[in-house]
Amino acid sequence: MKKTGILIEMENKRVKDTTLGMITLAARADTDLYALVLDGMDDPACDILARYGITTVVDLGLSFSPEMRLNPAVRAKAATQAAQKLQLDVIFGLSSADGKDLIPRVAALLDAPLVMDCLDVDLEKNIARTSHYSGKVLADIQLSGDVVIFGIRPNAVQPVPSPAQPQKIKMASDSAAVAGLALVSWDDGENGGQASLAEADIIIAGGRGLKNSDNFSLIFDCAKKMHAAVGASRVAVDEGWVPYAFQVGQTGEKVSPQVYIACGISGSIQHFAGMKTARMIIAVNKDENAAIMANCDYHVQGDLFEILPELIRQL
Ligand SMILES: Cc1cc2nc3c(=O)[nH]c(=O)nc-3n(C[C@H](O)[C@H](O)[C@H](O)COP(=O)(O)OP(=O)(O)OC[C@H]3O[C@@H](n4cnc5c(N)ncnc54)[C@H](O)[C@@H]3O)c2cc1C
């Protein structure tokens, strides 16, 4: 049977839901599932992994000092050593901000083929499905090698429980052997402290229809009421109303939330390239002929300056 290692992402000691979706994707195949945990493992987190079908929990974080824990070179080395010791055939990680830093390093150290931003993976044939040319083309890419690596788009697969009774093993890594890269400082960046856009369940986004940065507070107020993340079109970013970290689209973040609410966004092909895989798209636009009105699940036709304050009141 194949052995698949899953790079587990945690937030505040909780296994991220997007990680559970990735486990569900791997569990569709006939494979042993190894959870590679770099951030320390407590019993509740272990129980969650068991509920979603992990067969072995591998605790790799024990030997890290706090300053080493965040160093991507140290993390990559630990994951690589585990993959070699366990003789993994496949590695899954999230195409998240952290995953984009970690997974290519692991692929380089293992000299293994890698596809990032996979929407789906057929593990029997090692074929990944990815989107290209602003989502106009879906490509199926087959990997071959002793070990192959897939970066999975967050939220591409909904988590489905599949209980297992995992064994737990501890594996100290030779992290001291990593040279050449020291983490000097850490800054959360300019995303306003919100959770990762790519991993959000609900996103409310604003575009040129907001008219200026002050009006964007309508989007932030709605987001707060809905526990949603805030997104934006490129126009809103280019105008300086919100930072680039908020941009959704071809040259921004690719998102697959449960619900995407586009306010004052026309629905250009470049914007769609980033959000067309949302499970439900809701548009708020005054123009019934805007492209987004024909490409959404629900729309509200009207002035967002009337609709959003009313929505905030209702919420
Ligand atoms: C190479 C390339 C890459 C690009 N990458 C991206 C990308 O990653 N992301 C992205 O978003 N764009 C991207 N773009 C830009 C893209 O082509 C569009 O220009 C952009 O998406 C349009 O943004 P918008 O919908 O906010 O503005 P507009 O297209 O101007 O639409 C504004 C909408 O707001 C509506 N509106 C106005 N006032 C109100 C009101 N009071 N109430 C309700 N509705 C109102 C209008 O009816 C209109 O539909 C890219 C372009 C290129 C060439």
**Any atom of ligand 1 within 6 Å of the Cβ of 304:** yes
Mutate to test the pocket of ligand 1, among 230, 266, 281 (most ligand atoms within 8 A of CB): 266
Work out how many domains the chain is built from and give that number. Answer: 2
**Any atom of ligand 1 within 6 Å of the Cβ of 287:** yes
What pTM did the predictor assign?
A: 0.84
**Any atom of ligand 1 within 6 Å of the Cβ of 247:** yes
CA–CA distance, 30 with 119 (Å, rounded to integer): 19
Atom of ligand 1 nearest to the CA of 233: 11
For 76-141, the DSSP string reads HHHHHHHHHHHT-SEEEEE-SHHHHHHHHHHHHHHT--EEEEESEEETTTTEEEEEETTTTEEEEE
Domain end, chosen from 148, 177, 206, is at: 177
Which pLDDT tens digit goes with each residue over 102-136?
A: 999 999 999 999 999 999 999 999 999 999 887 78
**Any atom of ligand 1 within 6 Å of the Cβ of 209:** yes
Percent of the chain with pLDDT over 70: 94
Which pLDDT tens digit goes with each residue over 53-68?
A: 999 999 987 666 766 7
Task: For residues 39 and 151, state if they share a domain.
Answer: yes
pLDDT the model gives residue 61 = 75
Q: What CATH number does residue 123 fall under?
A: 3.40.50.620
CA–CA distance, 6 with 161 (Å, rounded to integer): 16
Domain coverage including residue 84: 2-177
Atom of ligand 1 nearest to the CA of 291: 49
Mutate to test the pocket of ligand 1, among 212, 244, 250, 269 (most ligand atoms within 8 A of CB): 250
Atom of ligand 1 nearest to the CA of 284: 43
More reliable by pLDDT, 185 or 239: 239
pLDDT the model gives residue 81 = 93
- Cα distances from 54 to residues 45, 46, 100, 108, 281, in angstroms, run 12, 9, 23, 26, 33
- Strand order across the 120-122 sheet: 120-122, 127-132, 137-142
Which pLDDT tens digit goes with each residue over 176-201?
A: 666 677 778 777 666 666 768 988 99
Q: Is residue 192 part of a domain?
A: no
User: Residue 83: which of 97, 63, 103, 62 has the closest Cα?
Assistant: 103
Task: For residues 213 and 173, state if they share a domain.
Answer: no
Residues 260/219, Cβ–Cβ less than 8 Å: no
Average pLDDT, the chain: 92
